[in-house]
Amino acid sequence: FLSYKMATGEEAAAKRTPVTGFHDWVLADSSAEYPAEANRYHLYVSLACPFASRANFMLSFKGLEGVIGRSVVHYLRGEKGWEFAPGNYRTDADTVNGKQYLREIYEMCEPGYSGRITVPVLFDTKTKRIVNNESGDILRMLNSEFNAFCATDEQRAIDLYPVALRGVVDEWNTTIQGAVNVGVYNCGFAKTQEDYDKAVTKLFDVLDKLEDHLSRSRYIAGGNQLTESDVRLFLTLVRMDMLYAGLFKCNKRRVVDYPNLWAHTRDVYQLPGVESTVDRFHIEHHYQRVFTEINPYGIVAIGPQPLDFNSAHGRDTKFAA
């Protein structure tokens, strides 16, 4: 997850960009240091965090839940950081290492670790090492390196980073990451009017651009090919109206006011396995009860009612081949 230290200008953007410390790679190669194997790896995720949700999305969408374990941390991150608190709503125990806090796993893998404690974490139960804690890396590993273990042939065939579209996907990822994924935080945690105005203008300029683009294409990279760019955008937009519009002042327009962005959000939400990875309770309670610097009393707003992600989106017929 992101670090939310207050700062201004470019310094603020840098401080709220995820900085991760573990960058090894699982490969579909038996000779690799970390070969893809069933029942060897474990994911630690938060249902609140849009970055951790990249990994959780792919785990479910690719049908890998039976071969890669998962533990969901508590939605309230306290002074000791992310906690395993079984017995709370959709919150798990650490069944692999028996720890109470995610911090303890970092320190177990690297004694004296002083970096940030972030989710997601891809953990190797065989070597007892963190393989990777960068959401974009884990997304791509789950996309391609565990295909031998996907539950169905259809899930095995899914490729959200196809070779022919990688240049386009990379370009869109850069735009979406800076203006949207991180951009909402730059709005919410701005300390000056100038910083807020700059961030919110950039955010909605890109949303306007995407609204126009998605009027001509079902998915971002073109045609009917879902890619990781769609996933990265979705995980922010699905939180926008219920949370960012109010708490982060991203309220120039709602997502539901954009016909194509709203339909695209519902389109992705309704893909097999995705709905279970989006938890409104975790999202709303985490942000509004943890970030007291912008919500001092920790009051959880009621949010828009209803917010129907399962209503018909029509993009499958609109862009039928």
Question: Which residues are catalytically annotated?
Answer: 49, 185
- Beta bridge partner(s), residue 45: 72
Listed in order, strand segments (DSSP E) in 100-166 are 121-124, 129-132
Tokens of 105: 């796993």
Which contiguous run of DSSP H or E holds residue 106? helix 102-109
Task: Quote the distance between the C-alpha of residue 77 and its chain's center.
Answer: 17
Distances (CA, A) of 279 to 70, 153, 263, 274: 16, 28, 19, 11
Q: Measured at the alpha carbon of residue 82, what is the angle toward residues 13 and 282, in degrees to the nearest 5?
A: 85
How far is Cα 205 from Cα 320, in angstroms, rounded to an integer?
Answer: 28
Residues 206 and 253: beta-carbon distance below 8 Å: no
Radius of gyration of the chain (CA): 19
Residues 65 and 130: beta-carbon distance below 8 Å: no
Tokens of 316: 């499958």
Tokens of 3: 């670090």
How far is Cα 172 from Cα 63, in angstroms, rounded to an integer?
Answer: 26
